[in-house]
């Protein structure tokens, strides 16, 4: 892994000629991701992020922490005990430099030894599930990290709106798989990561998977095609 996202975060923090990231998927064109967006404060976050942070309680695990903005808010403004987790070494380095007391560079499937009251997966948190075939693996893993009365707060987007429709409103969806399974590529300063599989989930598909893995699920907030869900153990 070239860790291009981490390099952009590192460059921005150290003022080393940062450039905007570019992302693309198997169904969308190149899109700009301003790196300063990853350093936004609470007031600049969207309604879903703000609601998730407001609901966070107890000991928190922030999965896919990036530059650490969510973790930093909960640690410094809400005085919660937070662990920031990311697979990007440079991102975790910046989390530490920004003052996050506990930041761990590890894949969630390899992380163990602690349990939490709140597990956060934000900015399309279902993305890390990779594909439908691995949802059970990830949900079962998250269950082992969750205290009995704990909560998982996760967001995603139903991307059905991105597909063409006929005059009767029918949607043209490619055959051969779930429409939310995409190849996702990050570009930075002329370099490109290898494509990764990234999963966007409609709420009903997440609901079925959660219930099949022993969770109760509740939709907390809907914002256009995106939503925030809360999972708790049965």
Domain ranges of the chain: 4-159+175-233
CATH tag, 4-159+175-233: 3.40.50.150
Asked if pLDDT for residue 40 goes beyond 70, the answer is yes
Is it the case that residue 24 has pLDDT exceeding 70? yes
Banded pLDDT at 165 (limits 50, 70, 90): low
Mean local confidence (pLDDT), 198-215: 97
pLDDT band, very low/low/confident/very high, at 164 (cuts 50, 70, 90): low
Q: What is the pTM of this model?
A: 0.94
Instruction: Give the rounded distance of the alpha carbon of 106 from its chain centre.
Output: 15
Provide the pLDDT for residue 29: 87
Determine the Cα–Cα distance for residues 86 and 71; give it in Å rounded to an integer. Answer: 12
- Within 8 A by CB and 6+ apart from 133, the residues are none
163 CB neighbour count, 10 Å cutoff = 12
**What is the model's pLDDT at position 158?**
94
Mean confidence (pLDDT) of the chain:
95
Give 132-144 pLDDT, tens digit per residue. Answer: 999 999 999 999 9
């Amino acid at each position: 892994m070239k860790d291009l996202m981490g390099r952009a975060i590192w460059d921005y923090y150290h003022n080393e000629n940062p450039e905007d990231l570019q992302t693309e998927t198997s169904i969308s064109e190149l899109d700009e991701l301003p790196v300063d967006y990853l350093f936004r404060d609470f007031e600049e976050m969207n309604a879903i992020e703000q609601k998730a942070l407001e609901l966070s309680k107890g000991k928190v695990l922030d999965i896919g922490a990036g530059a650490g903005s969510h973790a930093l808010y909960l640690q410094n403004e809400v005085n919660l005990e937070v662990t920031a987790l990311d697979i990007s070494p440079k991102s975790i380095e910046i989390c530490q430099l920004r003052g996050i007391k506990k930041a761990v560079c590890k894949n969630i499937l390899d992380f163990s030894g602690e349990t939490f009251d709140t597990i956060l997966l934000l900015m399309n948190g279902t993305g890390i599930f990779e594909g439908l075939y691995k949802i059970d693996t990830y949900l079962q893993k998250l269950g082992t990290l969750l205290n009995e009365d704990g909560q998982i707060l996760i967001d995603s987007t139903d991307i059905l709106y991105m597909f063409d429709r006929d005059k009767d409103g029918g949607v043209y969806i490619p055959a051969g798989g779930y429409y939310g399974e995409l190849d996702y590529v990050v570009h930075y300063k002329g370099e490109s990561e290898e494509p990764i599989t990234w999963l966007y989930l409609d709420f009903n598909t997440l609901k079925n998977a959660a219930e099949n893995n022993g969770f109760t699920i509740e939709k907390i907030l809907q914002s256009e095609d995106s939503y925030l869900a809360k999972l708790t153990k049965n």
